[in-house]
Chain A
Amino acid sequence: MNLIVCIKVAPKVDQIKFDEQKRTIIREGVENEINDADKNALEAALKLKDSHGGKVVVLSMGPPSFDPFLRLAVAMGADDAVLLSDRAFGGADTYATSRVIAAGIDKLKPYDVVLCGEASSDGSTEQVPPSIAGWLGIPHVSYVSTMEMVGDKVRARREITDGHEVVEVMPPVLASVQLGCNSPRFPDFRRKRWADKEFKLKIMNIQDLGFAPGDVGLEGSRTEVTGLSRMRSPERKREFIVGTEEEVAKRLAQIVKG
């Protein structure tokens, strides 16, 4: 099986601060990490490879500084890694991002299953995976928790609003994997050394993917951000209820009963 895992290197959300005056996001000093759900996607791919054989390629879009994160994915078990990197790709919305990633995937044909995390921790739009499937013209199954091959079909369990479904689909297919659906494996020590020292990362730029500058990045985006604001929370009473356990319970009971 040829498996492709799309990973995003995202800033650690809890380290992000908002500059009230400038109304911008302060990114300085914020550490990056492989988006959590994407690690679950990688683990799901490695599991498929463990049971059915094949090859796992990780693919990401971003600056050359993402190199160590792709090596980490290789140390976890990926066979190859591709970074789509070009200044022109910057500032992209989900439309332009998914377009570039889909073109990168297309260069890796033939493939059976493309896996993504269901959402990124920073943007959380959940739109890149279905949009990639839209560009590639392949079926998309979202919120996947488990996957297996049954005959020549992929059988996947996906979560829906009030329950779950089991779906069967003939590859090629794109699956977006639920955050926390498995426990991503730790990098193998020896493999990590090899990945850091000897592994050669493939980099593809705008020419490799055959785009004009207007197709991608900020210019190729369909949406724009006109302003940022902190999400205001409503005013709350913030009254601390103190007293003996019994007094607290009595007061709480009054509040709960309205």
Chain B
Amino acid sequence: MTGGVFVFLEQTDGALEDASLEVLGKGREIADRLGVPLTGAILGEGVGELAEYCARMGAQVVLAADSPHLKNFTAEAYTDVVSRMVKPRDPDILLIGATHNGTALAGMLAVRLGTGLMAHVVDLEIETGTGTLLGSVPGFGGSIVAICKTKKGRPQMATVRPGVFVAPSPTEKAGTVEPFPVDLKPEDVRCRVVERVVQHGASVSKAQRVVVAGLGCKDDLSLPKKLAEATGSTFGVSRPVADKGLAPKNLVVGSTGSSLNAKLAVVVGVSGAAHFTSGLRNAETVVAVNSDPNAELFKHADYCVVGDASKVIPRLISELGAEGK
């Protein structure tokens, strides 16, 4: 079976990445549109159940590579296995979630397959008539989008920014899982993970309510964090806050982090550079608090409050508390 759509399904410690579920959903849609099969690839140790799950979520075939040497993601070993899966099947399209690991895999894999790569796309379309994959690639801080296509080489590869596509619903008929034999030796894995620390926080891209703090909070994130707690929101930050080491990078909202899909986003002390506001596009309602009345962010907000966060937030929290009683 050659042709079709191929998706890489990333797992970490036995949990499927949201971004992978999202590419599975989009992959299903594209495969249906083109009338071709959708194949998934999952690598790890003891991934049988996850593979079965992916087969119920829209993949007709899930190739499962099980090996202790694949337990942890390493770019080289994963590139080797995925390229061996992809080459004989010769898919037209290969999609990968643009997580840290997905991004590292994609760059190496594209070279191995001798094909192009559209990075961090925020939209994918099939060109009418030609069936060519068109990717919307954000550049220059996310303010400009380039529509790209693969002119030479197959598959047409894209990494997809987390949070832009929706996770699929289970299909009526489950696909099949095919074990993919790997013969890796310890020396094939030149890079060894000796320690991993994971905090399974709520994901900002999936959260229904989000409070996002920017540099305007002057290095003190305690108030926006309190507001997040008081409103049952997930806490996020703008990129510069994470770059200063005040918050982990997985909380970053914007073109180098996650896109929001929240019903409500309260954004505090963010000036509103394009690479940030591109992450707000799918948020239903945006509330902005900023002391600068000319802040760019106000152009991207439904409700704007000009004021000092250190005054506005405590008042809001006590108001919420008072009404709760």
Chain B, 274-312, contact with A by CB distance < 8 Å: what is the 0/1 string? 110110110001110000000000111111111100011
B151 touches A258 (CB 8 A): no
Bound complex: CA A14 to CA B143 (Å): 10
Interface size on A, residues (CB 8 A): 78
- Residue B263 is within 8 A (CB to CB) of chain A in the complex: yes
Q: How far is the CB of B120 from chain A (nearest CB, A)?
A: 7
B255 contacts chain A at the CB level, 8 A cutoff: yes
Partner of A126, one of B103, B192, B305: B103
Cα–Cα, bound, A178→B242 (Å): 11
Is the pair B299, A123 in contact by a Cβ cutoff of 8 Å? no
A222 touching B191, Cβ below 8 Å: no
Chain A positions within 8 Å of B303 at CB level:
237, 239, 241, 252, 255
Q: What's the tally of chain B residues with a CB closer than 8 Å to chain A?
A: 99
Shortest C-beta distance, B214 to chain A (Å), equals: 15
B75 touching A130, Cβ below 8 Å = yes
A143 to B301, CA, bound (A): 32
Q: When the two chains form the complex, which single residue of B118, B143, B192, B315 contacts A223, counting CB atoms closer than 8 Å?
A: B118
Among candidates B137, B192, B280, B301, residue contacting A167 with C-beta atoms closer than 8 Å: B192
One of B34-42, B62-70, B174-182, B243-251 contacting the partner: B243-251
Nearest CB of chain A from residue B205's CB, rounded to whole Å: 11
Chain A residues with CB below 8 A from B191, complex form = 139, 141, 167-169, 173
Interface set, chain B 236-280, CB cutoff 8 A to A: 242-245, 248-250, 255-256, 263-264, 266, 273-275, 277-278, 280
Query: What is the distance, in angstroms, from A35's C-beta to the closest C-beta of chain B?
Result: 13
Residues of A within 8 A of B117 (CB): 94-95, 125, 127, 131, 222-223
Q: Does A190 contact B (CB under 8 A)?
A: no
Counting CB contacts under 8 A, is B46 at the interface?
no
C-alpha spacing A25/B141, complex, angstroms? 13
Is A228 a contact of B145 with CB atoms below 8 Å?
yes
Contact between chains at B99 and A161 (CB < 8 Å): yes
Asked if A250 lies at the interface with its beta carbon under 8 angstroms from chain B, I say yes
Contacting pair A121 B315 (CB below 8 A): no
Residue from A13, A25, A161, A162 whose CB has the most chain B CB atoms within 10 Å: A161
The answer to whether A166 and B111 touch across the interface, beta carbons within 8 angstroms, is no
Interface of B is mostly: mixed
B1 in contact (CB, < 8 A): no
Is A221 positioned at the interface, with any CB of B under 8 Å from its CB?
yes
Decide if the interface of chain A is mainly helix, strand, loop or mixed: mixed
Is B201 in the interface zone, CB < 8 Å from A?
A: yes
B147 within 8 A of A: yes
Q: Is the CB of B194 within 8 A of A131?
A: no
Chain A residues, Cβ within 8 Å of B152: 221-222
- Say yes or no for B190: interface residue by CB 8 A criterion: yes
- Are A226 and B287 in touch, CB under 8 angstroms? no
B100 at the interface (CB under 8 A from A): yes
Given the complex, which residues of A lie within 8 Å of B248, measured CB to CB? 159, 162-163
Q: A133-B108, A141-B191, A142-B100 are in contact. Are A163 and B197 (CB under 8 A)?
A: yes
Extra inter-chain contacts (11) besides given A124-B142, A133-B108, A161-B99, CB under 8 Å: A16-B144, A131-B117, A134-B108, A139-B75, A160-B101, A160-B198, A167-B74, A167-B192, A240-B298, A249-B312, A252-B305
Q: Hey, which bits of chain B sit against chain A, CB under 8 A?
A: 12, 17, 72, 74-76, 79, 99-101, 103-112, 114-120, 122, 134, 137-153, 190-201, 231, 242-245, 248-250, 255-256, 263-264, 266, 273-275, 277-278, 280-281, 285-287, 298-307, 311-312, 315-316, 318-320, 323
Query: Which residues on A are within 8 Å of B, measured CB to CB?
Result: 13-14, 16, 18, 25, 93-95, 98-99, 119, 121-131, 133-135, 139-143, 155, 158-170, 173, 178-180, 221-231, 233-234, 236-241, 245-246, 248-250, 252-253, 255-258
